[in-house]
Structure 1
Amino acid sequence: MRKEPVVADRDLDAAIAVTRFGLGARPGEIAAARGDPRGYLTRQIRRAGADQPRTNGETSAQRIAGFRVYQQDKGAMKRAAGDDTPVSDARDPVKIAQRMLRDDVATDFTARARLGAETEAGFRERWTLFWANHFTVSANKLLTATVVGPFENEAIRPHVFGRFADLLSTATTHPAMLLYLDQAQSVGPDSPAAQFVSRPRRGVGGRPGGAQRKLGLNENLAREILELHTVGVDGGYTQADVTEFARAMTGLSVGGLREDPEMIGRPVFRAVAHEPGTRTVMGVRYAPGGKEQTGAILADLADRPQTIRFVCTKIARHFVADSPPPALVARLERAWTDSGGGLDAVAHALIAAPEAWSPQPAKFKTPYEFVISSWRAADGAPRDIARLAPVLNAMGQKAFSAPSPKGWPEETAAWATPAAVVQRLSWAQAFSAAAVRDRDPKALAVAALGARLSPATATAIARAESRAEGFALLLMSPEFQRR
C-alpha cells in the first residue's frame, strides 16, 4: 500500500506544481494545489485544447487578406509617385502598416500575456507555449507579424493535447507557416507552372522578349520540418531527403487576391505548381498524389522513433532541466508510443514522472516567463503593450520575434548573462514600486513560492527598507528566477 506523503513533501510538491509546471503562483494558488498537487495538474489536461486569448477575433485569413490589399495600395501609390494628389491617412501605406502593428500584433501579444498572468490553468498554458515555440512563426516581417497570434490560436491551441500527427500537419501547412518559410512561392522545377513561365517571350517580329519571372523550388519548410519539428538534425535525413520533401510540398500555397474571395488568405493547393512524380524521403517511396503526398510524408515523420526521441527530449528539457534525465525522456517516449502520439498521454506521463519533481530547481526563467510570473505574484495582469514591449526588448525576447525558426532558446546560458540580470533588476525595482502598494511583501513571497521560499530570502525580504524593495528582492531571488 502506498503511503501518504508527509505534509512537508506535499507543501513542496504544491509549490513545484505551480511554479515549475505552471507559469508562477498567484496568491492562493499553491494552497489550492496542496491537497493533490499531481491531480491539480492532470485536471488541466483536456482534449479540447488550450484556452484562447481574448483578442479582436480576426482570423489569419482576414489578416492576410487585409495585408494583400495594403500591398496592392502600396504598389499603386508607388506607381503614382509623380502625382501631386495628397494622400489621406486612411490610404497612407506607412500609417496603415503602423496601425497593423499597433492594432493587430500589440493586441494579440497583450491578450496572450494577459491570459498567462490571469489563468488558473498555468500548466495548460505553459504546455501550449512550448508547442508554439516548437512550431515557431516569427514576426520578422510585417505580414507574418500580423498572423503570429492567429496562427497560435488556430493551429496550436486546439491541438496541444491531441495527436502529434494532427498538430504537426495543422501547424506546418497553416498559411502563417507557409508564408514565414516562403513555401507559398515554391514551384516544382518540372511543374506545368515552371514550364509555362520558362518559355521564352517573343517580342516584335518573333525576336526574344523581356526577362521572365523566375520560379523555383524553396526548401526552407522541408528542412525545418525535418530538422526542428520532427526527427531532428541528427535524425538520419540527408540533403536529398530535404530536396525530395520540398518537391512533394510544391503546390501548397496561400490564396491571394486573384482567387475566389472566400479563399483569400486560406491554404490552397495549386496542382499547376506541384512537382509531378514519385518521391523518396528517408527511404520511403511515396506515390504521386498532389497534396496527399505531403500528408503521407508528414504522417510517417510523426511516427518515426527519431521524432519521438527528439520531441520528448525537448519537452523534458523545457520542463525539468537543460540536460534532462534519460529516465524521464524514456517515460515520455513510452507514453507517446503506447498512445499512438497522444500528447495528452505524454502530458500525463510528465506529471507522473518522479524525475520531474526534483526539489532542486534547474530551469532559469526566460524573460517572458519572468515577467508573467512577476505579474502573477503581484496578483495583476498587463493591460497594454507599453507595459510589456520595452522590458522584453531590453531583456532580449522581443514579442513574437524569435530569432530563427528554431524558436527561443531553452538553456540557462542564453538568459542568465550579467547584462540580462541587470535588466531584470532594473525592471523588478520599477515594477515593484507600482505593484505592491500597501501589501506585505513577506506574505506575497509565501504566496508566490510556498515551501520553496528559502530562509535567506525570507529574512532579506523582512529586513527590506520598504515594501517595494522587499517585493523586488523576492523577484530577484534565486528561487524566483528559477523554477
Structure 2
Amino acid sequence: MDLKAAIAAVRFGQGRRPGDPIPTDPVAWLDSQLAPGLPGPALPEDLPKDLPALYLAAAEDTERLRTGGQGRPNQQLINRAETTAALGLEIAGDQGFRERLASFWTNHFSIARSRVQYVAGHYVREAIRPHVTGRFEDMLMAVVRHPAMLGYLDNTASVGPNSPAGQRGRRGLNENLAREVLELHTVTPASGYGQADVTAFAAVLTGWSFDGARPPYGFLFRPNAHEPGEKTVLGRRFAEGEQGGIAALHFLANHDATHRHLATKLVRHFVADDPPPAAVQTIHGVLRDTRGDLGAAAKALVRLEAAWDPPLGKFRSSHDYVVAALRALEAPIEVADRAFGGLQYLGQPMWNPPAPIGFPDTSRDWAAPEMMVRRIEWSNGIATRGAGRDAAALAEAVLGPLCRPETLRAASRAGSARDALTLVLTSPEFHRR
C-alpha cells in the first residue's frame, strides 16, 4: 500500500479494514463515493445486501418501533435501533468518505438525541443524508423544517407578539432557532449581524412547527402564531408568511459569509486544526461559484495539496477512533451496539452533543490525559476480538507506511497477542488521521 492510499483511507475515510481492496487511484476512489441520486437515505447501492438492511429497517419499521405496547413512543428502543444501524454502516461499510461527510454535516447541524426523542434518526436519514453531495440550501431547508431541529431549539414555542395567538397572550417570541441558524449554521458573527437581525429572523420563523401526532412528523406552518408584516434581516426584506421564511433561508444559505464559514469548517475537519488560508480560499471559491454545491466542495477537498501532506495532523475524535478500531479488527455489523456504549464511555455519545455547536473538531479537545487512559482501557477490551491475529500484519494492512517502526517493535515484544493489538490500536499514528 502506498502512502496516498493509506492517507485516503484514514483522512477522508473511516479507517481501513484489513481485507479492503487497495485503490490504485485514491482520488478516483473517493470521487466514486460522491455519486448523486442515491435512493432513500443515500446508502451506496453496491453495499452487500445484508449491510443496509438494519439501517433501512429503522426507517421502514418506524411505526412498529414507535409503540411500546401501550400506544406511546418507545424512545429507548427507537434510539438504539437508529444509532446502532448507523454505526453498523460505518463499521462494516465501504463508503467511508460518504459516511464521514454525513457525520460532519450531522455535527454541523447538531441536535441532541436526548431532547428530541425518537426523531433523531429520522432527522439524520431525511434531512442530512440525502443532501451531503447536494446543495447546502436544500440541506438547510430540510434541517430547519424538520421536527428535530424545530423541537430542539424550541421554535414550536415561538409566537409572534402581534399574531392572533400572541394577542391572546399565549407565549411570545423565542429566538433560539434564529440565533443558532445565524451564528452556527450560516453567516456567523463575521457577517456583522446584530441583535435586531436575530429578533427579526425569529419573527420570520414564527409559526414554523410540526404535528408530532402525524407521521412522518411533517412540517406544519401555523398562521395564527406567525408575526404579521414585513421583516428585515441583514438588510434584506422578507414578506410575512411561510414564503418569507423560505426566502430568508435561501438568502442565508447563499451568503458569502456562509460559504466562507463552511469552507473553514470543511478544511479544519479534513486538513488541519489551523486551516491553511489558501485551502480555505479554494473551497470558499468552489462553494461561491457553484452556489453551495457540497459535492463539488467534497471533490475539491480531495484535490487540495495540503490534504495529502504527511504527517497526519488531525487527532481522531472518539467517534472516529471507535469506528476505526472496530474496522481494523474487522468487527461484524452486530457489534454496533457495543460501539454505541464505547462512544458513551469515551465522551462522544451518538447524536447527543452537549450544546448546539456540536462536538469539537480539534486535537486539544480529544487528547486529554484522562481520555487517553479511557481509550487504552476500551481498546484492551475490544482487542479480544482480534484473538489469533498478528499485530504487525494488522498494522501493515490498516496503516501501511503510516505505521512507525517503533510501534511494530513494541508490538513484537508484547506479552500476549491481545497486548500487541492494544499497542497498535493505541499507538500515536492510530490516533491520527
TM-score between both structures, scaled by the size of structure 2? 0.92
Q: Is residue 65–residue 265 contact of structure 1 (8 Å, CA) maintained in 2?
A: no
What amino acid is the match of 2:131?
Answer: H
What is the deviation of 1:186? 1.2
What amino acid is the match of 2:14?
Answer: L
Measure the CA separation in 1 of the matches of 2:140 and 2:82: 23
Q: Is residue 320–residue 363 contact of structure 1 (8 Å, CA) maintained in 2?
A: yes
What is the deviation of 1:265? 2.4
Q: Is residue 66–residue 75 contact of structure 2 (8 Å, CA) maintained in 1?
A: no
User: What RMSD, in angstroms, separates the aligned Cα atoms of the two structures?
Assistant: 2.2
Alignment of 1:349-368 (within 5 A): 349-368=300-319
Q: Aligned residue for 1:202?
A: none
Q: Aligned residue for 1:278?
A: 230
Residues 61 and 254 of structure 1: CA distance in aligned 2, closer, same or farther (over 3 Å) = farther
Q: Aligned residue for 1:443?
A: 393
Measure the CA separation in 2 of the matches of 1:333 and 1:110: 35
| 2:219 paired with 1:267 | yes
What amino acid is the match of 2:230?
Answer: T
Q: Is residue 192–residue 272 contact of structure 1 (8 Å, CA) maintained in 2?
A: yes
Alignment of 1:124-273 (within 5 A): 124-141=98-115, 144-195=116-167, 197-198=168-169, 214-257=170-213, 265-273=217-225
Q: Deviations over 1:235-293 (max 9, x none)?
A: 21111101000101111111144xxx5x67211111111101001000111233x1110
What is the deviation of 1:314? 0.4
Q: Is residue 200–residue 233 contact of structure 2 (8 Å, CA) maintained in 1?
A: yes
What is the deviation of 1:336? 1.1
What is the deviation of 1:63? 6.9
| 2:16 paired with 1:25 | yes
Residues 474 and 304 of structure 1: CA distance in aligned 2, closer, same or farther (over 3 Å) = same
Identical aligned pairs, as a percentage?
41
- Aligned counterpart for 1:331 among listed residues 282, 285, 294: 282
Residues 104 and 36 of structure 1: CA distance in aligned 2, closer, same or farther (over 3 Å) = same
What is the deviation of 1:61? 12
Q: Is residue 88–residue 336 contact of structure 2 (8 Å, CA) maintained in 1?
A: no
| 2:56 paired with 1:100 | no
- Aligned counterpart for 2:413 among listed residues 463, 467, 470: 463
Helix, strand or coil: the match of 1:379?
coil
| 2:258 paired with 1:307 | yes
What amino acid is the match of 1:248?
Answer: V
Alignment of 1:408-427 (within 5 A): 408-427=359-378
What is the deviation of 1:465? 2.2
Measure the CA separation in 1 of the matches of 2:329 and 2:203: 52
What is the deviation of 1:66? 4.9
Residues 264 and 167 of structure 1: CA distance in aligned 2, closer, same or farther (over 3 Å) = closer
Measure the CA separation in 1 of the matches of 2:265 and 2:97: 16
Measure the CA separation in 2 of the matches of 1:120 and 1:61: 25
- Aligned counterpart for 2:328 among listed residues 373, 377, 397: 377
Helix, strand or coil: the match of 1:44?
helix
Helix, strand or coil: the match of 1:479?
coil
Measure the CA separation in 1 of the matches of 2:151 and 2:58: 18
Residues 300 and 63 of structure 1: CA distance in aligned 2, closer, same or farther (over 3 Å) = farther
Q: Deviations over 1:378-406 (max 9, x none)?
A: 11135256513432222111222101111
Measure the CA separation in 2 of the matches of 1:124 and 1:269: 33
Q: Rg bigger for which structure? A: 1
What is the deviation of 1:311? 0.8
What is the deviation of 1:461? 1.7
What is the deviation of 1:418? 0.5
Measure the CA separation in 1 of the matches of 2:173 and 2:271: 40
What amino acid is the match of 2:180?
Answer: E
Alignment: residue pair count: 422
